[in-house]
Chain A
């Protein structure tokens, strides 16, 4: 009899090697442990062990062999046991349970199972502590460190224990909340949550005093007290995360708010000007949709998952990516996810920031490298396991992300325009439709996620807000929806369960029918003991809500079940505009839909011009041009991100046509393309851009640069300039301060101006307004770290023909030209940061000049005049030229005898926008000149095919070997 199965690899695993290398210790071994809540007899032990292990590569530990097997590796003396805290998603355990259920049909009754990682070392206790810090997160895992002898003893005496969720068995009785209390008491409910009978608080609701007063007024009009469920629901629905109150608030003299005026306003203006069918579904659905070809629509959505990723980087990021996948599944009648995008804004992983959420070095922030690694692998597991390619992304480092990392996750989806003759992007839950919840079960995970992501990160941030995604459960659900249900038109509406859980998804869908009645006791739970309000707002992942006509319910449920997916009837949509929730027949929520969605007090915001903080000026260090290039190439924001591209499957679905690593020399590209349909040569090009480094100086120009770069990168890749759409993701800080709001207003204004100028509509967006950290440093001094305002613009465009797709590799004899003019715009450039400050400015986008360049480029490209091209961005022309040389492994000569009045440094490293580096075959020059005016381009050199890059000025020739540049460019990022 035993209650544990422990398995180890006979040979050293890749993970063990990397741990050994990282910790400089040759005696590290990892054991996969499975702890059972019940004892297994010998027969069961043998059967199950065989089912979950591999005879050839692994050994199963038993009481008899454990000592002998382990001593053959080393004289281990310390052990760390890492397992999930009760209630945290344990995907491996789920799989093992399923294997047992599938293969041992007669099996045993119900049992609990937990997967455990056991690491053995020979070394000191400090060593194992250090390893455990790098391998586990105390927020979601328990970490037990003990001597090896105790481990052997545990083994012999069956003392490995799993941690079960132990919720007190409680009988629910309806809880009414008295709001006729002092303002102070009222505000405590908002900040700390509803008070339980034992005086403890449930956790932040994120409701301000004004909102609570509006709730109080509503209930005094209907002459009763609110229930806890009603207050929880209003908190979710009215959260900044769900309602975007700041974007819709009156701000200064803009009554309609900046979203309506600048973002939606831009799109409306563009639709009016364009008069075509490009824009299909904007702002109203889970993602924005545009026309791909005559039969298909593509949609795109980008989300942020910043706060969860700060607390649990892996869980936050995986939930971010599988969450945004569901936004696609919830677009129209359900779009198939066909590409993921990512963008991470992180602190320097090589630095130790030592930040604490509480005084006296308590409650530390996770180390920057732990956060970075966790985020990168979260998206890897989420994307790869879902079978969705992840071609497009980038990473940017800055100290100001030390308090909160920014994690942007995006997904592109595709859906036929019509399904059974009906427009697929239109959906409507009808009165009488059944509310069906499909996918995963509901637990305590993610409770209060929506309300707390709208707040700053401080000691009261709830840890149950953390979730871990389960991509396989979602994949199973997604396959049923896209392949089996959608095209038969078996449901009338669909949306995902993200922030706010059922309260939010059903609340939103019910707008289509009128209202809803939900029976919460029907919702399948991960474990017993949840309060109704917890079921209602839980953000447990992998769930979609469907509105199914009663006649189809049986069929739909059967299809889900046949594929191993749970689907449960939990209520129905009604015509009456009422939101009603019952729990075992007791009515616990009854609100007017109008109040639920529109009852929150509208904000009235004022802005003020911020004081510009002048940074210290750096002294210019003299170094050679070649030296500078090496320094820039190896700097974290320019260096290759190949190590991410190779761990993200970008080939699955066989659609990758412009890959993240480009040319023989594998340069990390700034745009990628997929060809989503086998029978149409059209492709989708993707890119993104943000310039947080420019934000503090001038937020208007910062936003202009983001739009310009995101647009330009698609033009350069070969997209049709009339078929480019963009998405906005504002990640701001301290959005209750007038100067931050001023910056926000300015950035939004630029969004309008540049989108309209380029005629590229915004189709979707999301904002995250409080990316601040308030806590303490190691000396106990209180600190506030705010991110620099960051506006990520994601671009999606259609490339009409395969022949329009460009490459970044020139050929021997090609002439090199820069399209667009270069100005002295070095202020907050990479050059300034790495090499030395020069008095200068930040880039200002001239949309008229830019558009001329883009239109001419497009024309020349379609005519086959362009041989290769690369967008010029960070590091300027100098870096663009070097990347071309590395990509093609072909030498270039570069002429520095400049005609205009800027210095060599300015010319090479200025980050002036709207410029493209191109190469042409010599004989195409006459045709090129027919399109481009002489003042719009500069010939700067040619491709020699040698193994060096040469820079020639009047006096001398400077040379650098391509292989040396490639080495600098491909350096590892320190700390990762």
Chain B
């Protein structure tokens, strides 16, 4: 079980993302985008392709856009190929923005992106912990999970989806995660439960196979119990909720 964790041009969560995969049993490597473009065949050695969070190209021209365009020009076919196999792809935060800009999720009509991530309704960067519920538990990434407590940290996390597309996303059950309030009910756009004003409280989308997950919250930052705010009140657990996502990846290949 090998994971490729992408880096370069301002991606910055590669270390902790790789660490999370390694703890659950993966072997992995951080690979710079330029090295991958030089030698795309190395993708064959990996079962998981992870695009971590960060600020690729400083979010200029829209978060994830510049990196997505670079991948589209240089690696698109290889990545599509990867996604069509029995392999897993995850994009977290900036990685999510990159996958959305690539159109790898929801990928209902292929190639062109149909969903956009736009600036938070608050107009400001939001670094805070949120609760999300799993809506599509068919995705191998999200199997057997009901809710998660995870941090978000982004300026552009608001899912913008044309109405018709939203209908087919729902019909195909492609909403991965949705923000919920303290009573485990959908946040209904209410701040700060829904930190960015995302339509239908969407925090993550998957493709139709469920093997590609694009999520705004950061599971790798909620990996150990001491990551959780006010963890001192509950020191019995070893892991935080983010651990479950990485364990699911392991189970998929077990």
B residues less than 8 Å from A55 (CB atoms): 112-113, 116
A residues less than 8 Å from B153 (CB atoms): 384, 649, 651-652
Does A970 lie at the interface of the complex (its beta carbon under 8 Å from any beta carbon of B)? no
Closest to B218 in A: A651
Are B58 and A103 closer than 8 Å at their CB atoms? no
Q: Report the Cα distance A652→B223, complex, angstroms.
A: 12
Closest to A387 in B: B12
Does A657 lie at the interface of the complex (its beta carbon under 8 Å from any beta carbon of B)? yes
Complex interface: stretch among A59-67, A342-350, A470-478: A470-478
B residues less than 8 Å from A98 (CB atoms): 57, 66
Does A647 lie at the interface of the complex (its beta carbon under 8 Å from any beta carbon of B)? yes
Q: Report the Cα distance A386→B55, complex, angstroms.
A: 8
Q: Report the Cα distance A9→B114, complex, angstroms.
A: 15
Does A662 lie at the interface of the complex (its beta carbon under 8 Å from any beta carbon of B)? yes
Please tell me which one of the listed residues A14, A650, A663, A806 contacts residue B119 in the complex, with CB atoms under 8 A apart.
A14
Does B109 lie at the interface of the complex (its beta carbon under 8 Å from any beta carbon of A)? no
Closest to A471 in B: B58
Closest to A56 in B: B116
Are A563 and B8 closer than 8 Å at their CB atoms? yes
Complex interface: stretch among A46-54, A218-226, A740-748: A46-54
Q: Assess A805 versus B232: contact at CB under 8 Å? Given A98-B66, A384-B55, A651-B218.
A: yes
> Which residues A789-847 have CB closer than 8 A to chain B?
802-803, 805-807, 809
Q: Report the Cα distance A645→B229, complex, angstroms.
A: 14
Does B137 lie at the interface of the complex (its beta carbon under 8 Å from any beta carbon of A)? no
Are A563 and B32 closer than 8 Å at their CB atoms? yes
Q: Assess A654 versus B223: contact at CB under 8 Å? Given A13-B119, A807-B232, A809-B230.
A: yes
Does B131 lie at the interface of the complex (its beta carbon under 8 Å from any beta carbon of A)? no
Does A126 lie at the interface of the complex (its beta carbon under 8 Å from any beta carbon of B)? no
Does A15 lie at the interface of the complex (its beta carbon under 8 Å from any beta carbon of B)? yes
Please tell me which one of the listed residues A17, A92, A475, A476 contacts residue B123 in the complex, with CB atoms under 8 A apart.
A17
Are A649 and B125 closer than 8 Å at their CB atoms? yes
Are A13 and B123 closer than 8 Å at their CB atoms? yes
B residues less than 8 Å from A562 (CB atoms): 32, 34-35
Are A56 and B160 closer than 8 Å at their CB atoms? yes
Does A664 lie at the interface of the complex (its beta carbon under 8 Å from any beta carbon of B)? yes
Q: Assess A472 versus B160: contact at CB under 8 Å? Given A9-B118, A17-B123, A652-B12.
A: no
Does B252 lie at the interface of the complex (its beta carbon under 8 Å from any beta carbon of A)? no
Does A111 lie at the interface of the complex (its beta carbon under 8 Å from any beta carbon of B)? no
Does A646 lie at the interface of the complex (its beta carbon under 8 Å from any beta carbon of B)? yes
Does A486 lie at the interface of the complex (its beta carbon under 8 Å from any beta carbon of B)? no
Does B227 lie at the interface of the complex (its beta carbon under 8 Å from any beta carbon of A)? yes
A residues less than 8 Å from B13 (CB atoms): 387, 652-654
Number of A-B contacts (CB under 8 A): 172
Are B116 and A53 closer than 8 Å at their CB atoms? no
Q: Report the Cα distance A172→B66, complex, angstroms.
A: 40
Q: Report the Cα distance A57→B58, complex, angstroms.
A: 19
> Which residues A11-33 have CB closer than 8 A to chain B?
11, 13-15, 17-18, 32
Per-residue CB proximity of B181-220 to A under 8 Å, as 1/0?
0000000000000000000000000000000000000101
Please tell me which one of the listed residues A56, A96, A380, A385 contacts residue B113 in the complex, with CB atoms under 8 A apart.
A56
Does B60 lie at the interface of the complex (its beta carbon under 8 Å from any beta carbon of A)? yes
A residues less than 8 Å from B114 (CB atoms): 56
Are A96 and B116 closer than 8 Å at their CB atoms? no
> Which residues B96-155 have CB closer than 8 A to chain A?
101, 112-116, 118-128, 151, 153
Does B83 lie at the interface of the complex (its beta carbon under 8 Å from any beta carbon of A)? no
Are A656 and B121 closer than 8 Å at their CB atoms? no
Q: Report the Cα distance A17→B196, complex, angstroms.
A: 13
Per-residue CB proximity of A763-807 to B under 8 Å, as 1/0?
000000000000000000000000000000000000000110111
B residues less than 8 Å from A57 (CB atoms): 62, 116, 118, 160
Are A651 and B233 closer than 8 Å at their CB atoms? no
Q: Report the Cα distance A842→B66, complex, angstroms.
A: 56
B residues less than 8 Å from A470 (CB atoms): 58
CB of B40, distance to nearest CB on chain A (Å): 16
A residues less than 8 Å from B126 (CB atoms): 646-647
CB of B206, distance to nearest CB on chain A (Å): 18
Please tell me which one of the listed residues B7, B118, B226, B230 contacts residue A664 in the complex, with CB atoms under 8 A apart.
B230
Q: Report the Cα distance A18→B62, complex, angstroms.
A: 19
Q: Report the Cα distance A651→B175, complex, angstroms.
A: 25
Does B9 lie at the interface of the complex (its beta carbon under 8 Å from any beta carbon of A)? yes
Does A898 lie at the interface of the complex (its beta carbon under 8 Å from any beta carbon of B)? no
A residues less than 8 Å from B223 (CB atoms): 654
Are A472 and B123 closer than 8 Å at their CB atoms? no
Are B55 and A387 closer than 8 Å at their CB atoms? yes
Please tell me which one of the listed residues B62, B127, B229 contacts residue A54 in the complex, with CB atoms under 8 A apart.
B62
A residues less than 8 Å from B124 (CB atoms): 14, 643, 646-647
A residues less than 8 Å from B119 (CB atoms): 9, 13-15
Are B70 and A92 closer than 8 Å at their CB atoms? no
Q: Report the Cα distance A98→B8, complex, angstroms.
A: 14
Closest to B161 in A: A56
Closest to A18 in B: B123
Q: Report the Cα distance A84→B202, complex, angstroms.
A: 37
Does B47 lie at the interface of the complex (its beta carbon under 8 Å from any beta carbon of A)? no
B residues less than 8 Å from A384 (CB atoms): 55, 125, 153
> Which residues A84-99 have CB closer than 8 A to chain B?
91-92, 94-96, 98-99
Q: Report the Cα distance A92→B61, complex, angstroms.
A: 7
Are A653 and B16 closer than 8 Å at their CB atoms? yes
Are A649 and B160 closer than 8 Å at their CB atoms? no
Q: Report the Cα distance A662→B230, complex, angstroms.
A: 7
Are A385 and B58 closer than 8 Å at their CB atoms? yes
Per-residue CB proximity of A157-197 to B under 8 Å, as 1/0?
00000000000000000000000000000000000000000
Does B19 lie at the interface of the complex (its beta carbon under 8 Å from any beta carbon of A)? yes
Q: Report the Cα distance A103→B65, complex, angstroms.
A: 12
A residues less than 8 Å from B229 (CB atoms): 659, 661
Closest to A94 in B: B60
Counting chain B CB atoms within 10 Å of each CB, which of A13, A18, A651 scores highest? A651
Are A647 and B60 closer than 8 Å at their CB atoms? no
Are A646 and B127 closer than 8 Å at their CB atoms? yes
A residues less than 8 Å from B233 (CB atoms): 807, 809
> Which residues B214-245 have CB closer than 8 A to chain A?
218, 220-221, 223, 226-227, 229-230, 232-233, 235
B residues less than 8 Å from A654 (CB atoms): 13, 16, 19, 218, 220-221, 223, 227
Are B55 and A472 closer than 8 Å at their CB atoms? yes
> Which residues A633-684 have CB closer than 8 A to chain B?
643, 645-654, 656-657, 659, 661-664, 675, 678
Are B70 and A103 closer than 8 Å at their CB atoms? yes
Are B10 and A675 closer than 8 Å at their CB atoms? no
Are B70 and A13 closer than 8 Å at their CB atoms? no
Does A479 lie at the interface of the complex (its beta carbon under 8 Å from any beta carbon of B)? yes
CB of B252, distance to nearest CB on chain A (Å): 23
Q: Report the Cα distance A450→B9, complex, angstroms.
A: 30
> Which residues B21-76 have CB closer than 8 A to chain A?
32, 34-35, 53-55, 57-62, 65-66, 69-70, 72-73
Q: Assess A476 versus B113: contact at CB under 8 Å? Given A647-B125, A652-B53, A654-B223.
A: no
Are B120 and A472 closer than 8 Å at their CB atoms? no
Closest to B160 in A: A57
Does A564 lie at the interface of the complex (its beta carbon under 8 Å from any beta carbon of B)? yes
Closest to B156 in A: A14
Does A276 lie at the interface of the complex (its beta carbon under 8 Å from any beta carbon of B)? no
CB of B177, distance to nearest CB on chain A (Å): 18
CB of A299, distance to nearest CB on chain B (Å): 19
Q: List 10 A-B contacts (CB under 8 A).
A: A9-B118, A14-B119, A56-B162, A57-B116, A384-B153, A385-B55, A386-B12, A476-B9, A563-B8, A654-B19
| Beyond A54-B113, A98-B57, A479-B8, 8 extra complex contacts between A and B, CB < 8 Å | A95-B66, A102-B70, A103-B72, A387-B54, A475-B12, A646-B126, A648-B127, A653-B13
Closest 6 CB pairs of A and B: A387-B12, A14-B123, A57-B116, A95-B60, A654-B16, A56-B116
Chain B residues in the interface with A (C-beta under 8 A)? 7-10, 12-13, 15-16, 19, 32, 34-35, 53-55, 57-62, 65-66, 69-70, 72-73, 101, 112-116, 118-128, 151, 153, 160, 162, 218, 220-221, 223, 226-227, 229-230, 232-233, 235
